[in-house]
């Protein structure tokens, strides 16, 4: 439990520091700005990608999306927009809780300009404080991350979403490692 508390504290410091840096950067650059703050939590299900998971997993984290300076109009009221996503939290499996930090430099969103509905897909990397969960070895501390999902605003700047997220080492550490598939449910605050 002490390890989990340390991970949570590190996540808080990371998110607060990143928010300060990005807010300052958005004021200076005028193009890059905070898009949303997301509280996410979820569980693993039956694996749909790769080998079957040996353990059940759960994850809770805090994520920040950053709007990049490009946007393309697609029809009337619809946009295609690249974003950056980063998160910090904990991954729990086999009665072990470890820190997990992600950076997805490629997250492409397609949706209504008013934010009422959007879908997105992203890819990037993750660092784990420990990658062994009793009977399941993820291979190493670095994992590739792939995610896709949908979000919606339903009360002003507040909204919700669902994302499927997959961790995998893509056999970088050998063929005996197994990835993790998660179903994440989100509470979202949009800054604009």
Is pLDDT at 49 greater than 60 in this prediction? yes
User: 120, 108 in Cβ contact below 8 A?
Assistant: yes
User: 182, 53 in Cβ contact below 8 A?
Assistant: no
* pLDDT score, position 177: 76
Is pLDDT at 163 greater than 80 in this prediction? yes
Domain count, the chain: 1
Nearest Cα to 153, choosing from 104, 106, 186?
A: 186
CATH number of the domain within which 140 lies: 2.40.160.20
Is pLDDT at 27 greater than 60 in this prediction? no
Query: Which tops the pLDDT comparison, 45 or 132?
Result: 132
C-alpha 61/C-alpha 41 separation (Å) is 7
Cβ neighbour number for residue 62 with a 10 Å cutoff: 20
If you average pLDDT over every residue of the chain, what do you get? 84
User: 41, 71 in Cβ contact below 8 A?
Assistant: no
* pLDDT score, position 7: 46
Measured over the CA atoms of residue 168, residue 171, residue 172 and residue 174, the dihedral's sign is positive
Query: Which tops the pLDDT comparison, 56 or 62?
Result: 62
Structural domain of residue 186, as residue ranges? 2-190
Is pLDDT at 134 greater than 80 in this prediction? yes
Is pLDDT at 78 greater than 90 in this prediction? yes
C-alpha 156/C-alpha 153 separation (Å) is 7
Cβ neighbour number for residue 134 with a 10 Å cutoff: 11
Confidence of residue 15 (pLDDT cuts 50, 70, 90): low
Query: Which tops the pLDDT comparison, 25 or 18?
Result: 18
| CB contact set of 166 (below 8 Å; sequence gap of 6+) | 49, 50, 145, 146, 147, 179, 180, 181, 182
């Amino acid at each position: 439990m002490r390890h989990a508390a340390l991970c949570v504290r590190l996540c808080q410091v990371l998110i607060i520091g990143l928010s300060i840096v990005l807010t300052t950067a958005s004021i200076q650059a005028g193009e890059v700005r905070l898009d949303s703050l997301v509280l996410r939590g979820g569980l693993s299900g039956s694996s749909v990608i790769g080998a079957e998971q040996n353990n059940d997993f759960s994850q809770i984290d805090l994520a920040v999306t950053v709007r990049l300076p490009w946007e393309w109009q697609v029809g009337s009221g619809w946009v295609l927009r690249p974003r950056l996503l980063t998160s910090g939290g904990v991954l729990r499996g086999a009665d072990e809780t470890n820190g997990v930090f992600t950076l997805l430099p490629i997250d492409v969103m397609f949706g209504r300009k008013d934010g009422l509905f959007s879908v997105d897909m992203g890819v990037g990397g993750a660092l784990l404080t420990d990658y062994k969960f009793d009977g399941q070895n993820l291979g190493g501390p670095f994992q590739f991350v792939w995610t896709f999902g949908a979000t919606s605003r339903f009360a002003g700047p507040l909204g919700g979403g669902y994302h499927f997220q997959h961790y995998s080492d893509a056999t970088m550490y050998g063929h005996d490692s197994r990835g993790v598939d998660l179903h994440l449910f989100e509470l979202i605050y949009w800054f604009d």
